Chain A
Amino acid sequence: MFVALGMAKAPPERRAALIAGVLATAGALPGVRSAWAAPVLDRAVINAGDIVWRVAFEDEAHAAALARALASLLAGLAVTSLGYRLENAGGRAGGPGIWRALVFRCFPGTEPARKAALAAATLLLPGAVPEIRRWALSPVQWTAGETPFEFVWEQEFDALDGLTGPYMDAPAHWGLVDAFFDADCPEYIVDPRLVQVIGSIAGSVMG
């Protein structure tokens, strides 16, 4: 499965129409497995813009059509978009909740072994935080935007509280994984210009 993820800044009065337009455009493309678009939550987000969409395709070739199809709809807006093959995924489907993604890159020149250590540590979190009901840590294949992102760490929770509470409180998070994001730690490799994007979901969007 190949995912096209996008975020855009948009004035409040245009957001609903843009979300509908993204869903209609994606729905008309061949090879689409699922499509979700929503307003970005106004809490706990970083550099995420105002609307987000996530469209899953059968393969990368089909996904390439989405950017072209959305070009006129999104003209004039600041857009960040990226594509990735879903990897390191697991968990269970669920009902209403939130989808959250941390989109980031490592500092240029970071050794592959250190990136692998970051990935391995990150993938400990689903086992340490039962509130993560579905997850995936995927290397980014392409980015359109200011920052060439490298990883998408996405999860689903039953509620935002699962992210702001148990996820943040987990010792495996602050005591281990966060070292890669912490400028005080020698493990520090993640560029702080990252994106945290969250949206409400009616059901699992990562299936």
Chain B
Amino acid sequence: MAPDNVLILDELVVRPGQAAAVRAHYRADYVPAAERRGMVLQAAWQSPPGPDLPGVETTLWFVWRVHGVAGWWRQRFSRLPDGSDERAAKQAFWQGLEPLLVSRQRRMLSAQEQG
């Protein structure tokens, strides 16, 4: 059965001392564009728990919700306001963040099946 909601989980492992910059960049640049694509930010977590510790890597998680599979493809096939393909802009955002990161992954999540 198709899920009513799909979650998209970004996990960003951030270089020591860069957590505040990554959070700011993500919230200023990624969040508005994602919301325009129909994504709803459900939660934002970090570890070690805040406040940031100097000299250690910080892992940030951003949990997004989209409405079903159709909502998932909507954000995936998104266009810019001028109608052009948004993939280059998405790629540019992540490439801009790369120097601040140790690694990242994005995972798609659904509720667990019974059994």
| A-to-B contact residues, CB < 8 Å | 168-169, 171, 174-176, 178-179, 182-186, 188, 192
Contact = CB atoms under 8 A, between A and B. Distances in A.
A183 B75 CA distance: 11
A172 to B, nearest CB: 10
B51 to A, nearest CB: 28
**Chain B contact residues: over half helix, strand or loop, or mixed?**
mixed
A169 B2 contact: yes
11 contacts: A168-B73, A171-B3, A171-B108, A174-B72, A179-B106, A183-B90, A184-B76, A184-B106, A185-B106, A186-B103, A192-B87
Contacts of A171: 3, 108, 110
Contact of B106 (A169, A186, A192): A186
A190 to B, nearest CB: 10
B105 interface: yes
B108 A174 contact: yes
Contacts of A192: 85, 87
Nearest to B92: A183
Is the interface on chain B under 10, 10 to 19, 20 to 34, or 35 or more residues?
Answer: 20 to 34
B85 A174 contact: no
Contacts of B2: 169
A168 B69 contact: yes
Contacts of B24: none
Contact of B69 (A169, A184, A186, A188): A169
A185 B106 CA distance: 6
Interface string B86-109: 111011001000000001111010
Given A183-B88, A183-B90, A184-B94, 14 more contacts: A168-B69, A168-B73, A169-B2, A171-B3, A171-B110, A174-B69, A175-B108, A179-B106, A183-B91, A184-B76, A184-B106, A186-B103, A186-B105, A192-B87
A95 to B, nearest CB: 28
Nearest to B91: A183
Interface string B32-62: 0000000000000000000000000000000
